[in-house]
Amino acid sequence: MRRFAGQTVFVTGGNKGIGAGIAKRFAEEGAKVAIAAIDKDTPDTASKLADMTGTEVIGLVLDVTDGKAVQDAFGEAEARLGPLSISVQNAGVITIAKVENLTEREWDLNLDVNTKGVFLCCQEAIRRFRASGMKGRLINTASGQARQGFIYTPHYAASKFGVVGLTQSLAKELAREGITVNAICPGIIHTEMWDYNDRVWGKMLGQYGPGELMAEWVEGIPMGRAGTPAEVGALVAFLASADAAYITGQTINIDGGLIMS
């Protein structure tokens, strides 16, 4: 399928993990893709995806917590690729700490990247949708922890609950303009972030060896396996497609049935 041929898609955190799966899906379906991430090698990652898919992909180094930088990145994306159609707010961080050890710096980092960063990118995308008359699509990455908080990550859970609230509020404000806003809640997905979770939570919850805690948690998933970035990319592509034109303000779990609500 090439549902997005000629469209411009902006993906934050699109250089690895879930974001890479999302960016690859859009590129495979013909979109022009701007990957924005804080890592300095993001342009190289984009170049490799362009070579792999034969589509136009650019990489922008971006700190999503910096409003001026967000404006500049969206401006560069449109200047190089054309008017924005879809924006995926996926950049995120997690740290894990017992409540008595959780620092203000960790709290601020999680809220700044995971919630404020989503807001700033949505805000800029909306400005550009309105300027071009585009009935655009906004998709925000929340988490299973936007459904249920978990031990040692109250700051992360708060940041992701915030993404759901932001998504619903913007969806109501923008619905009459034909701009849809939805969120996804990935569960356990094969990514570098989940390697970190397995290692740090495993040590804190009982001296698990590498991979042991994740394997134990995967046993609790009804489908019996972790998900892949490609599977998350498929969901995001659906929400961005014409088939999802009557879906807005929704938060959709993608976790193999781990959380059914």
CA distance 174 to 131: 14
User: Cα separation of 110 and 57, whole Å?
Assistant: 28
Determine the Cα–Cα distance for residues 56 and 130; give it in Å rounded to an integer: 24
Instruction: List alpha helices for the chain, DSSP H.
Output: 17-28, 42-53, 67-81, 104-111, 117-132, 154-174, 192-204, 212-219, 229-240
Rounded to whole angstroms, how far apart are CA atoms 54 and 37? 21
The pLDDT, as a whole number, for residue 207 is 82
- Tracing tokens 């601020």 back to the chain, one arrives at 108
C-alpha 170/C-alpha 156 separation (Å) is 21
Whole-number pLDDT of residue 234: 98
Q: Which of 152, 156, 208, 246 is catalytic?
A: 156
CATH of 8-188+228-251, picked from 3.40.50.720, 3.20.20.480, 3.10.450.50, 1.20.1740.10, is 3.40.50.720
Handedness of CA 188, 193, 198, 204 (dihedral sign): negative
Predicted pLDDT of residue 38: 98
- pLDDT at res. 1: 74
Name residues of the chain where pLDDT drops below 70: none
For this structure, is 156 an active site residue? yes
| β-sheet bridge partners, residue 227 | 189
Whole-Å CA distances, 143 to 9, 47, 253: 22, 29, 8
Tell me the pLDDT tens digit for each residue of 241-253.
999 999 999 999 9
Give the C-alpha separation, 228 to 38, whole Å.
22
3-state SS assignment for residue 182? strand
154: number of Cβ within 10 Å: 16
Which tokens belong to 189? Answer: 């997905």
216 Cβ partners below 8 Å, 6+ apart? Answer: 208
For residues 19 and 89, the answer to whether their CB atoms sit within 8 Å is no
Please tell me the predicted confidence (pLDDT) of residue 35.
Answer: 98
Each domain of the chain, given as residue ranges in start order, spans 8-188+228-251
Residue 91 structure tokens? 């950049």
Query: Is the Cα dihedral 23, 27, 30, 31 positive or negative?
Result: positive
Q: 254 - beta bridge partners?
A: 186
CA 78 to chain centre: 20
Using alpha carbons only, give the angle 13, 14, 17 rounded to the nearest 5 degrees: 85
Q: pTM of this prediction?
A: 0.97
pLDDT of residue 227: 98
Radius of gyration of the chain (CA): 18
Pairing assessment for the beta strands 57-61 and 251-254 based on DSSP bridges: unpaired
